[in-house]
Each structure stands twice: as C-alpha cells, then as structure tokens.
Amino acid sequence: MPAGFEFTLKAWQLITHEARSPTYRRLKKELSASEKAAAGGFRPSAIVHEAWKVTVACARALEARTILFQCPASFVQSKENVASLEKFFSVIDRDGLNLCWEPRGDWDPDLVRSLCANLALRHVVDPFVSKTVTPDTPYFRLHGRNGWRYKYETSELEELVAMVDRKTSGYVFFNNSAMTEDALRFSELIG
C-alpha cells in the first residue's frame, strides 16, 4: 500500500454476531454446538475472547489502528446486551487501538452517547441516516441510500464534504457497490 495508507479492520463476527447469522456460512471452521451457543453478542465466553485475540493479531499484522464492531440488527437495546457490551469493553486489552461501535436498529441516542463515553468508543453512523454522538472522533460508514447497490451523486458527496469537520481526525468509509469510485471522487472533492 502507498505510504500513509491506514487499514481499519472489522472485528470478527464471532464477537458481534450470533451463530444464526447467515454470514457464518462463510466460516472455514465448523463450530460445535457449544461454540455456536457462546458466540456473538459480546458474550463473556472463550470463543468471543479468542475471536478478540485473533482480531487484534490481524490488526497488528496490518498495522491497523482502528477496529470497527458492526452489530447486527438482532443486537437490540436490552439490559442483557448493554451489560454484555459493558463487560466486553471493560475487560479486553485494547492494545492501544481505537475502537468503533456501529449499533443497528432503535438504540436510544442518550444511551449510545453514555456507552461511547464510558467505554471509550467511537460511534459509527451513516451520516445521511443519523448523527454521530462522538463528533470529535467521527467514523462515517456509508451503506448507500437505497441499499448497497448505490452510487452517490456528486451533490451528495459535496454534502458529505460539508459534514466533515477538517479539524478532527476521523474516517469516511464507503460500503456500497461503487465504493472505490465514490471514495476517489470524495477524496478529490475534499482535497
């Protein structure tokens, strides 16, 4: 990669997604029934702990400084899920990494703000859908306005440029089918 390039990494789904997630079909290792029951949801389990260690090792191999925890929509706001989040992020060795959390669904913004502050997390949002509760450390993840098969119009990218505070250090990540083209056009616009 060119000088100055920075990888960010998505945390392994064994940490965030329960084994019923369709993305588990891509796992190269068959999980036992007990491993499936203990996976995902930030559970305090051996498989989640091991997945964190593998995620950190991958980040170190890529010299990544930032890890994204993308939650599935099934990880809803509940007392159990909040407790699991708090316990996971309170006990892991962060190894100096920036940790970013992308909740899905209907989470109370005040709770998200409190969790991000208390657990030192960056709030990940699509800025065309919602506002970040951590504006000093933004991580924008654009999924496409009508789904991932989306190409952003120049006017939308100009709107995105206006949303970016150039005085802060953050990330803008395109997660749509035209991601490379959109990122290059955005990069030209932002200079």
Q: Phi and psi dihedrals of 112, rounded to 5?
A: -60, -45
Query: Does pTM top 0.75 for this prediction?
Result: yes
**Taking the domains of the chain in order of start, what are their residue ranges?**
1-123, 126-191
Query: What pLDDT is recorded for position 149?
Result: 93
- In this prediction, residue 191 carries a pLDDT of 83
Q: What burial letters (b/e) apply to 156-168, b meaning 16+ CB within 10 Å?
A: bbeebeeeeeeee
Q: Are 20 and 40 in contact (CB under 8 A)?
A: no
Give me 185's structure tokens.
């056009």
Q: Helix or strand or coil: residue 9?
A: strand
Q: What is the pLDDT of residues 2-60, one digit of tens each?
A: 888 899 999 999 999 999 888 888 888 889 999 999 999 999 999 999 999 999 999 99
Task: Tell me how long the chain is.
Answer: 191
Over residues 125-173, the pLDDT tens digits come to 999 999 999 999 999 999 998 888 999 999 999 999 999 977 888 899 9
Separation between Cα atoms, residue 34 and residue 48, nearest integer Å? 12
185 Cβ partners below 8 Å, 6+ apart? 152, 154, 157
The C-alpha atoms of residue 106 and residue 87 are separated, in whole angstroms, by: 21
**Tell me, what's the pLDDT at 93?**
93
Tokens standing for residue 158: 């100009």
* CATH number corresponding to 1-123: 3.20.20.410
Whole-number Cα distances in Å, 35 to 50, 104, 129: 11, 24, 35
**Are residues 96 and 117 in contact, defined by beta-carbon separation less than 8 angstroms?**
no
pLDDT score recorded for residue 4: 85
The C-alpha atoms of residue 73 and residue 31 are separated, in whole angstroms, by 22
Instruction: Write down the pLDDT at residue 76.
Output: 96
DSSP state of 86: H
